[in-house]
Amino acid sequence: QKEVEQDPGPLSVPEGAIVSLNCTYSNSAFQYFMWYRQYSRKGPELLMYTYSSGNKEDGRFTAQVDKSSKYISLFIRDSQPSDSATYLCAMRDENTGNQFYFGTGTSLTVIP
Amino acid sequence: EPEVTQTPSHQVTQMGQEVILRCVPISNHLYFYWYRQILGQKVEFLVSFYNNEISEKSEIFDDQFSVERPDGSNFTLKIRSTKLEDSAMYFCASSVDRDYGYTFGSGTRLTVV
């Protein structure tokens, strides 16, 4: 299943760094895009939600969607050790279905 | 903050046995979902449930699986005749609207031996 591709990492950065996490997708009908954070042995936690193209900012987090390139990004500014987790992208077609398609997740470690 | 509650957190069962995984979605949510995550693999959609009926199911969700909302608060996933390959984390989720992000529970780790 290659609907959504995400580099699994692991990614390791020093505290305070800017982190860039990315997903690519193949289905041009995807319109709803989400980023989830998943701590070990926990369920995914919704971080950011965007519809169609553009940017969305929430505190230290910025989500970007480039539909022409079928590419989405999550940026984390001033990264903290508490940001260490697995980050999952998920997306859905507007017109059909209820299911979201997930990436494999990128494991991030922020080193103090 | 409201949360989705799943029980048990870990279930070990013998191959061929039936298991019921339980979920209490957020009270004002109308859409309910089950997803699963096999170790090291993607989170995969199983089924969505709205207005007391299945609204969509994946090809994974075959006759071995069923869902119920037996009362106003619980949402259950039943797996009949479990197989080794059913071992996974099973996540329940709920949402106010199908276009909105889900709230996931912490999951039930199912181990079939």
Q: Is residue A105 part of a domain?
A: no
Residue in the block written with tokens 């609204």: B55
Q: How far apart are CA B4 and CA B21, in angstroms?
A: 13
Buried b (16+ CB within 10 A) or exposed e, A24-55: bbeeeebbbbbbbbbeeebbbebbbbbeeeee
Interface of A to B at Cβ within 8 Å reads 1, 4, 32, 34, 36, 41-46, 49, 51, 88, 90, 97-105
Q: Is residue B109 part of a domain?
A: no
CATH of the domain at B27: 2.60.40.10
Task: Give the total number of structural domains in chain B.
Answer: 1
First to last CA, chain B: 36
State whether residue A52 is helix, strand or coil.
coil
Q: Is residue B58 part of a domain?
A: yes
Does residue B94 sit at the A interface (CB-CB below 8 Å)? no
Residue range A38-95, pLDDT digits in tens: 998 889 999 998 988 889 999 999 999 999 999 999 999 999 999 999 999 999 887 7
pLDDT over threshold 80, residue A96: no
Domain that holds residue A93: 4-98
Query: Residue-wise pLDDT tens for chain B (113 aa)?
Result: 789 999 999 999 999 999 999 999 999 899 999 999 998 889 999 999 998 899 999 999 999 999 999 887 899 999 999 999 999 999 999 999 877 788 999 999 999 99
Q: Is residue B101 part of a domain?
A: no
Chain B partners within 8 Å of A1 (Cβ): 42
Strands A54-58 and A61-66: antiparallel
Q: How far apart are CA A50 and CA A32, in angstroms?
A: 6
> Is the separation of the CB atoms in B3 and B103 below 8 Å?
yes
Q: How far apart are CA B76 and CA A90, in angstroms?
A: 24
Domain that holds residue B47: 5-95
Residue among B45, B50, B106 whose CB faces A43 most closely:
B106
Q: Is residue B103 part of a domain?
A: no
CB contact under 8 A, A34 and B41: no
Q: Is residue A112 part of a domain?
A: no
User: What are the structure tokens assigned to A66, written together?
Assistant: 């480039």
Other CB atoms within a 10 A radius of the CB of residue A76 amount to: 23
Task: Give the total number of structural domains in chain A.
Answer: 1
Q: Is residue B87 part of a domain?
A: yes
Q: Is residue A71 part of a domain?
A: yes
Q: Is residue B61 part of a domain?
A: yes
pLDDT over threshold 90, residue A110: yes
Of all residues in chain A, the percent with pLDDT exceeding 70 is: 97
CATH of the domain at A12: 2.60.40.10
Residue among B42, B55, B91 whose CB faces A104 most closely:
B42
Residue range A11-53, pLDDT digits in tens: 999 999 999 999 999 999 899 999 999 998 889 999 998 988 8
